[in-house]
Amino acid sequence: DSGVTQTPKHLITATGQRVTLRCSPRSGDLSVYWYQQSLDQGLQFLIQYYNGEERAKGNILERFSAQQFPDLHSELNLSSLELGDSALYFCASSRLAGGPVDEQFFGPGTRLTVL
């Protein structure tokens, strides 16, 4: 158990809908990262938040947004869902903003299925 929690574990929804994925980092960790694992794109970095602020952006679609709250939990919002958004979404957390010894610990993932 990495100490990172993600809810829900599974989510099934329809095209065009909007969903919110939630991540609670390990106690004391300030950074949260979101990754998407799909059959087409593999595992790819979406976005990082550090202490409430956006720190880095990867291949995140405009239909997707994220935020990190004062209690450091993070939410990933996916809107106007398409079939291709079906994937496993991982959250990871690290102690600092990133760096040589700032290991990322991964949560169990949320499996999103868009029908």
Whether 77 and 65 have beta carbons less than 8 Å apart is answered as yes
- Judged by CB under 8 A, the chain residues 88 through 107 that form the site for other proteins are 88, 90, 97-100, 102-107
* Least distance (Å) between residue 43 CB and other proteins: 4
> Is 28 near other proteins (CB under 8 A)?
no
Across 48-75, b (16+ Cβ under 10 Å) vs e yields bbbeeeebeeeebeeebebebeeebbbb
Residue identified by tokens 């990133």 is 98
> Is 56 near other proteins (CB under 8 A)?
yes
| Contact residues for other proteins, defined by CB under 8 A | 2, 33, 35, 42-45, 48, 55-56, 58, 88, 90, 97-100, 102-109, 111
